[in-house]
Amino acid sequence: MKTHPARLLSDPSSIVWSAIYCIALSAGQRSVRWGRHCLVVLVLPMLLASCYLPEAFTIDLSMERNGDYRLSYRGLLVQPNLTQGLLDNSVGPEEEQERVEKVLADLKRDSSVRQLTYAGRGVFNLVYEKRGNIMREKSFVFVRRQSRILEMFFHKDRNIVEIRGGFVPDQYQDRLTALGYQMTGNIEVRTTAGVRSHNAAEFREISGQNRLRWEIKSITDPVPNVILG
C-alpha cells in the first residue's frame, strides 16, 4: 500500500535525511561521503530550495536506435524544505502560498511539464512528458541537476547511451528506512537498441523490442543502470 509522503515525512528529523537524499542524487557517484557535522549545512534553505523527492511514481522511457526518446513521469514530488517548514510551524499560510508559487514557477520553466498541481504539505502532483534525441542533446537530467531522479548520457567515443537512476548512498539507507521514507514507483524502459548491460528485475524481448522493468518498493531497491549500444 502506498503511503502519502506528507505522512512519511511527519518526523522533522526525517526531513534532514531526506535532504541528504536530495543532495546524494545530485552527486552522481557512490564515492560521496558525509558526516553528521554536515547536517547543519545540508538543511540550509539554499540547498533545499529546488530539491525534489520522488514518490508513488511511474516512469516510462522508450528509445529508438537513432537516439529518439520519449520519457514520461506521473506521480508525486515532495519539496522537503516546504514540508519541514509546515511541520515545524515556521511557515504560515501566506508564506506557504508564496513558496508554492515559486516551486510551480520553477518546474513550469520546463515546457515538458503537462500537469502540475499542489496537493498540500509540500507535495505536488506532476505529469511530465518529454521527447528528444539523446545523441544530439548528449545528456538529459530529470527533474533537476539538484534532484537527479533519472539521467541519460550519450558517450560518442564508445557509441553508447547510459541510463541511470538516482540513488541513496548505502550509509544512509537504513536511517531513512527507519524514519519511514519510502521511494515507491515503477520504471519501464523500452528500446530497439541493443542492451549491453542492465540491472533490471525483468527483461524481455518482444518483436524486436527490449523491455526492462524495475519495481521500486523501497530506497534499498536497485534503480536503473543500463548501457545501450
pLDDT computed for residue 113 by the predictor: 98
Residue in the structure block whose three cell numbers are 516551486:
103
pLDDT computed for residue 24 by the predictor: 54
CB 198 within 8 A of CB 212: yes
pLDDT computed for residue 114 by the predictor: 98
pLDDT computed for residue 182 by the predictor: 73
pLDDT computed for residue 168 by the predictor: 64
Give the whole-angstrom CA distance, residue 52 versus residue 78: 5
3 state SS of 62? strand
Which residue ranges make up each domain of the chain? Answer: 5-228
Residue type, 53: L
Under-70 pLDDT residues of the chain: 1-50, 167-169, 171-173, 175-181
Q: In terms of DSSP bridges, do strands 53-63 and 185-191 run parallel, antiparallel, or are they unpaired?
A: parallel
3 state SS of 228? strand
Report which secondary-structure segment, H or E, holds 56: strand 53-63
CB 83 within 8 A of CB 123: yes
pLDDT computed for residue 84 by the predictor: 75
Indicate the pTM of the whole model.
0.80
Phi, psi dihedral angles at 113 (to 5 degrees): -75, 115
According to DSSP, residue 180 is labeled: T
Q: Which CATH architecture has domain 5-228?
A: Sandwich (2.60)
